[in-house]
Amino acid sequence: EAEVAQSPRYKITEKSQAVAFWCDPISGHATLYWYRQILGQGPELLVQFQDESVVDDSQLPKDRFSAERLKGVDSTLKIQPAELGDSAMYLCASSLVPGLSSYNEQFFGPGTRLTVL
């Protein structure tokens, strides 16, 4: 069964360092999502791509976070510089098309657990 791949699974970094997370969506999925899940909370959408274009980054802290999906396939989320409050699980998801419907489902990867010291 096709899955969303993410790496690394765990990342420990020091405050003010740069970190990057990688996501490979299910083949053929045009829409890719990055979520942040703080411990004890539900996931929150950071950015949504349709192919290589950003369609929603309203919750992305743009002063330190950036995301790209250059060829419309895999994607990288970067944080520079990392802050203590960035410690969280970063989840990537993909879907065949954008939007929510009875036939369109978001499939989630296993996530990257980030700890900032």
Asked if 98 is part of the footprint of another protein (rule: CB under 8 A), the reply reads: yes
CB of residue 60 to another protein, shortest distance in Å: 13
In the complex, the smallest distance separating the C-beta of residue 16 from another protein, rounded to whole angstroms, is 27
Q: Could you give phi then psi for residue 57, rounded to 5 degrees?
A: -135, 30
Nearest to 78, CA basis, from 19, 16, 13: 19
Q: Contact region for another protein (CB under 8 A) — 60-68, 69-77, 79-87, 93-101?
A: 93-101
Task: Identify the residue among 48, 67, 86, 114 touching another protein (CB under 8 A).
Answer: 48
**Residue closest to 36 by CA, chosen among 98, 95, 79, 72:** 79
Four-point Cα dihedral 92, 98, 101, 102, nearest 10: -60
Residue 91 interacting with another protein (CB under 8 A)? yes
Q: Which residue has the tokens 């349709």?
A: 50
Site residues (vs another protein, CB under 8 A)? 4, 33, 40-45, 48, 55-56, 91, 93, 98-102, 105-106, 108-111, 113
